[in-house]
Structure 1
Amino acid sequence: MIENETVFQKSPSSPTWSLKDTIDIPNRAMNFGDGLFETMVWDLAEIRFFDKHLNRLKGGMQLLNLQEEDIHPDGILHFLASNFPNQRMRVRWNVYRSGQGKYTPETNEVIQTLQLSEFNPASQIKKKAAFTQKIQLFPTSWSAYKTLNALPYILANQERKARGLDEILLLDSRGFISEASASNIFWVKAGIVYTPALSCSCINGISRQVILAHLDEKKIPYFLGEFAPSELAHADQVFVSNCTGISYLQCINQKEYSTVPLIFLNDIFE
């Protein structure tokens, strides 16, 4: 599938976003992966769960010592509302360090890009899933953030494609369930929802945060922890989630699961 993207850029010296056919190279995003990104949904007149995206991005910027004052969230909302009203789009917001330098940066100022493309909601059912045979996730101080170095997920998705899977599941370096190839994982057993703790090196996903807050609001029991893959053998349902929505896994390593939508999750992404 070929995605058609429109790219806008904002430099430290520019007050506005400008349409860009090309991005200046070399840059620190390309050379060092020195930055972060958020994948979001522009939903007619607002960015879905924008406050949570912004909080996660700012946490990553603090870790990388990037200047928070260089980003202007209200400006992004105004730009999208003015140029793309009443549309639903996928928005990737990249924030990376400007300047050159080698491993020692010259500045903490940032360059930003917005990549806009058609929004495609998550598939409701992913029929065939399995655990990766090649990739492990390791704990770092940036594990919970979405950095511009995504090699584990690239390699995992290459494996997924080669094995003819619809989804692939990742373990951490200790063998605990961590996440899926581009989403967080949850399962339901006897009415209780389970999901890996952040100590398992998974991304602190926005949909994960939203789902957990929703479970709190509805007083639905859930448990965060460190779980072996064998835990899924006893689950009734397994689902994965990211900003595009929820997908139910039908089969993991020959084990079949219910894919009937969970009523208490239905209105989260509406």
Structure 2
Amino acid sequence: MSSDIVYLDGAFIAAQDAKVSVFDRGFLFGDSVYEVIPFYRGVAFGLEPHLKRLEHSLAALRIPLSTDLPVVLNELVARNGGGNLSVYLQVTRGDAGRRTPVYDASMQPTVFACCNPIRDIYADGPDGVSGIAVIVTADLRWHRCDIKANGLLPNILVLQQAREAGAAEALMIRDGVMTEGGSSNLFIVKSGVLYTPKLGSEILGGTTRGLVLELAREAGIPYQETDLSYENLLEADEVWISSSTRAVVPVLSVDGKTVGDGEKGPLWRRMFELFSQFHHRLMTGEE
């Protein structure tokens, strides 16, 4: 269940009292962007890269924003009791007063944020993380997936397709090239090398994806950002997905075919250890 206090246009209010105009362009056109930011024990995990990506999305849509988001989000989490929460943040172009495809550059954006409880994925160690099954399906999204926009119908459809197939995620493919998951980025391991699709307009630059590569570089784990095919996926020794609230998750089967030996792989365990160490330093300030 969602926590009780939300933020809407400068005010912290009870969720049931939050109201947005039916003429808000986020509601009418999906003319809006969003982020989901995890907080553990009341401390943001990756706040800076999330807000940097939000800035990129806002600039692409030409939505101006002057709200001091770090102050707002930290206060929102505190008002909801701190702890382990994910913060959903959405910024729309605002209310035009009528339904019209054109917009006035002077419009005031709508800023909304709410919290949901999340599990501390690091508390139980790597043995507490379950491997998942995935399917592969066509990438039906638009060509500006680098913008974290709210037009998520294609993502919803492929995730439902995965659910109906008994899988936890749908990996997407476009013109023979793997892109990403419906709610995650993709990694494979082959012969000790970590591979991930290279960034472009058709892939969202995941903040956790960036952290995986940063930790790999610091640990001396070789990696490449490159195009990956469906065959690369099936022939991989390990497959992972990554997202802000799940960190890195091992994939044990693709379209019903076993990945590697069907167990969580050694490089995934090493990466989970690196994430846990990073998380510990963030929470305690200790090296």
TM-score, normalization by structure 2: 0.83
**Aligned amino acid, residue 248 of structure 2:** I
Mapped to 1, the partners of 2:47 and 2:181 lie a distance apart of 23
Q: Is the 8 A contact 2:234 2:259 kept in 1?
A: no
Q: Is the 8 A contact 1:170 1:179 kept in 2?
A: yes
Residue of 70, 73, 92 corresponding to 1:74 = 70
Deviation at 1:259, TM superposition (A): 1.0
Kindly report which structure 2 residues correspond to 1:124-163, keeping only aligned pairs within 5 A, or say none. 124-132=129-137, 134-140=138-144, 143-163=145-165
Deviation at 1:115, TM superposition (A): 1.7
Kindly report which structure 2 residues correspond to 1:195-210, keeping only aligned pairs within 5 A, or say none. 195-199=196-200, 201-210=202-211
Deviation at 1:213, TM superposition (A): 1.3
Mapped to 2, the partners of 1:120 and 1:56 lie a distance apart of 24
The equivalent residue for 1:17 is 12
In the TM superposition, structure 1's runs of 4+ consecutive aligned residues that sit over 6 Å from their partners are none
Q: Is the 8 A contact 1:33 1:147 kept in 2?
A: yes
Work out whether 1:38 is the aligned partner of 2:32.
Answer: no
Deviation at 1:5, TM superposition (A): 4.5
Change in 2 beyond 3 A, CA 1:138/1:84: closer
The equivalent residue for 1:256 is 259
**Aligned amino acid, residue 28 of structure 1:** R
Deviation at 1:255, TM superposition (A): 2.9
Q: Is the 8 A contact 1:193 1:221 kept in 2?
A: yes
The equivalent residue for 2:285 is none
Kindly report which structure 2 residues correspond to 1:177-192, keeping only aligned pairs within 5 A, or say none. 177-192=178-193
Q: Is the 8 A contact 2:84 2:118 kept in 1?
A: yes
Mapped to 2, the partners of 1:82 and 1:233 lie a distance apart of 45
Work out whether 1:114 is the aligned partner of 2:113.
Answer: yes
Mapped to 2, the partners of 1:138 and 1:150 lie a distance apart of 10
Deviations 1:87-118 (A, max 9, x none): 11111011111121511123342111112111
**Aligned amino acid, residue 19 of structure 1:** A
Deviations 1:195-243 (A, max 9, x none): 0112371211110011111112222211111111111122111010101
Work out whether 1:63 is the aligned partner of 2:60.
Answer: yes
**Percentage identity across paired residues of the two chains:** 19
Which is worse superposed, 42-51 or 234-243?
Answer: 42-51
**Aligned amino acid, residue 131 of structure 1:** V
Which is worse superposed, 18-27 or 111-120?
Answer: 18-27
Change in 2 beyond 3 A, CA 1:200/1:188: farther
Which is worse superposed, 118-127 or 107-116?
Answer: 118-127
Q: Is the 8 A contact 2:2 2:114 kept in 1?
A: no
Q: Secondary structure, in 3 states, of the residue corresponding to 2:172? A: strand
Q: Is the 8 A contact 2:77 2:115 kept in 1?
A: no
Deviations 1:30-51 (A, max 9, x none): 1011111101112223211000
Change in 2 beyond 3 A, CA 1:85/1:24: closer
Q: Secondary structure, in 3 states, of the residue corresponding to 1:147? A: coil
Work out whether 1:4 is the aligned partner of 2:18.
Answer: no
Q: Secondary structure, in 3 states, of the residue corresponding to 2:44? A: coil
Q: Secondary structure, in 3 states, of the residue corresponding to 2:112? A: strand
Aligned residues: 260
Q: Is the 8 A contact 2:7 2:76 kept in 1?
A: no
TM-score, normalization by structure 1: 0.88
**Aligned amino acid, residue 255 of structure 1:** T
Q: Secondary structure, in 3 states, of the residue corresponding to 2:135? A: strand
Which is worse superposed, 117-126 or 198-207?
Answer: 117-126
> What RMSD over aligned residues (CA atoms) do the two structures have, in Å?
2.1
Change in 2 beyond 3 A, CA 1:97/1:188: same
Work out whether 1:51 is the aligned partner of 2:53.
Answer: no
Mapped to 2, the partners of 1:205 and 1:157 lie a distance apart of 18
